[in-house]
Chain A
Amino acid sequence: ELKVEQNPLFLSMQEGKNYTIYCNYSTTSDRLYWYRQDPGKSLESLFVLLSNGAVKQEGRLMASLDTKARLSTLHITAAVHDLSATYFCAAQETSGSRLTFGEGTQLTVNP
């Protein structure tokens, strides 16, 4: 059974600082997704990572995938308040469409 763990679960950071969210998964998976959820809203797709060493960047967010370590990271550069949200990673089993989500990391960026 595929399991996904994120850490930290809660992250409070100051504007302008850098930080990384980690996502570990338990079994082989070659498709890793990152989502964002604002309070009271739905989940919005951010990135999909399809291969070992894949890196995707959008604004102040950069996601990477290391399939050998079964680890994905979401790096935040020079955080701004607008990035405050809950970030989920999700791994997809090699067969089937099901995603297994992590618990989510609640990020708060303080002025």
Chain B
Amino acid sequence: DAGVIQSPRHEVTEMGQEVTLRCKPISGHNSLFWYRQTMMRGLELLIYFNNNVPIDDSGMPEDRFSAKMPNASFSTLKIQPSEPRDSAVYFCASSHLAGGHETQYFGPGTRLLVL
């Protein structure tokens, strides 16, 4: 398997622009997670889906952030409008229950810079 796939790998945009991050989970995994990582705040869970349904979005910073999972093989995280404080690395991870545990496998991340 190719692992979790994220695109783009790098994104530079200007404040106020819309940003869309994409994720393809590992085939057969039924849980998908969006994280944000910064030096100041560390690794934060933004939202997670189980069987394409959002389960916990309490980590989504504000209404500018939205996430969708239209099917089992694709998810998006959208920021509209973007702000400089959104600059971070955004990771997508997926998991499924196997052997009594749910190890999350992380994608390579999208490095976002908002100018």
Is there an interface contact between A98 and B105, defined as CB atoms closer than 8 Å?
no
Q: How far is the CA of A96 from the CA of B33 in the complex (A)?
A: 12
Is there an interface contact between B43 and A101, defined as CB atoms closer than 8 Å?
yes
Is there an interface contact between B103 and A45, defined as CB atoms closer than 8 Å?
yes
- Beyond A97-B95, A98-B56, A101-B42, whether A43 also contacts B103 by CB under 8 A is no
Contacts of B43 in A (CB 8 A): 43, 88, 101, 104
B91 within 8 A of A: yes
By beta carbon, the residue of chain B nearest A47 is: B103
CB distance from A6 to the nearest CB of B (A): 11
Q: How far is the CA of A66 from the CA of B91 in the complex (A)?
A: 30
A-contacting residues, B66-115, CB 8 Å: 91, 93, 95, 100-109
Is there an interface contact between A33 and B109, defined as CB atoms closer than 8 Å?
no
Is there an interface contact between A48 and B101, defined as CB atoms closer than 8 Å?
yes
Q: How far is the CA of A50 from the CA of B104 in the complex (A)?
A: 15
A70 within 8 A of B: no
Contacts of B108 in A (CB 8 A): 41-42
Contacts of A97 in B (CB 8 A): 31, 33, 48, 50, 55, 95, 102
B45 within 8 A of A: yes
Q: Which of A42, A48, A98, A104 contacts B91 (CB 8 A)?
A: A42
Is there an interface contact between A31 and B101, defined as CB atoms closer than 8 Å?
yes
Contacts of A42 in B (CB 8 A): 91, 106-109
Is there an interface contact between A103 and B107, defined as CB atoms closer than 8 Å?
no
Interface size counted on chain A using CB atoms at 8 A: 19
Contacts of A48 in B (CB 8 A): 101, 103
CB distance from A52 to the nearest CB of B (A): 14
Is there an interface contact between A45 and B101, defined as CB atoms closer than 8 Å?
no
Q: Give chain A's interface residues, CB within 8 Å of chain B.
A: 31, 33, 35, 41-45, 48, 50, 88, 92, 96-99, 101, 103-104
Q: 20 more A-B contacts (CB under 8 A) besides A101-B42, A103-B42?
A: A31-B101, A33-B101, A33-B103, A33-B104, A35-B106, A41-B108, A42-B106, A42-B108, A43-B91, A45-B103, A50-B100, A50-B101, A92-B102, A97-B50, A97-B95, A98-B56, A99-B33, A99-B104, A101-B43, A104-B42
